[in-house]
Chains A and B, each alone.
Chain A
Amino acid sequence: MTAGIAELPLWADALVASLLVGAAAFALIGSFGLVKLSDFFRRLHGPTKAATLGIGGTLLASSIHFSVRDGAVSVHEVLITVFVFFTAPVSAHLLAKAALHLAGQPADADEAVPTAEQEPTG
């Protein structure tokens, strides 16, 4: 599988390898948290942060790899990185709102109907 890999200088090779190992560790821990943790809101915590770091590390490694190989800065990967970094919190927020909605609690402070038994916030 690694037959076609390009020959890089040692520093770039070491940087790419360490970034990949870190990214893989983060992604694996995030996915493991998705299985291991007990409650949905705890499970939401794991993958949203860890998987985003996994994506970031992998894309940075890919960017360095192709930049050093071609001798020109490779900015394709930044496109995915920026997009994922912007969208991951948005989807996590929407999922948390959806779960709160299913749990029967008001998902939005604006839509909340104040009741006597509601706990005071803050």
Chain B
Amino acid sequence: MTAAVLPFVTLAFVLGLLLSAWRLLRGPSLPDRILALDTLYVNALALLVLFGIAFDTKLYFEAALVIGLLGFVGTVALARFVLRGDIVEPR
């Protein structure tokens, strides 16, 4: 049953990836692009976990974990740059 469903699930996540990439290229404002990047990495993370199920291996888990960690740090750094004009503020 999972094998029958997997191609459609993969297609849905790839479609989500493309939609957020479209918003990343198009997005009128800077927060729009950051939000699109956030959605993009979340979709990529889910796609990697999906590959782990499809190929029946735990190899992709570490890659998904690293994307999750670095994606959040990237989003926070970008949002902070927009908010303050600087990432690490001088004292």
Using a CB–CB cutoff of 8 Å, the interface residues on chain A facing chain B are: 1-2, 4-6, 8, 10, 13-14, 16-17, 20-21, 23-25, 27-28, 30-32, 34-35, 40, 43-44, 47, 51-52, 54-55, 58-59, 61-62, 65-66, 69, 76-77, 79-80, 83-84, 87-88, 90-91, 94-95, 97-99, 101-102, 107
Contacts and interface: CB of A to CB of B under 8 A. Distances in A.
Interface of B: 1-10, 12-13, 15-17, 19-20, 22-23, 29-32, 34-36, 38-39, 42-43, 45-46, 49-50, 52-58, 61, 64-65, 68-69, 72, 75-76, 79-80, 82-83
B61 A76 contact: yes
Contact of B79 (A16, A23, A55, A91): A91
Contacts, number: 175
The interface residues of chain B, by DSSP majority, are classed as: helix
Interface centre among B4, B17, B61, B69 (most CB of A within 10 A): B61
B82 A98 contact: yes
Contacts of B20: 31, 34-35, 47
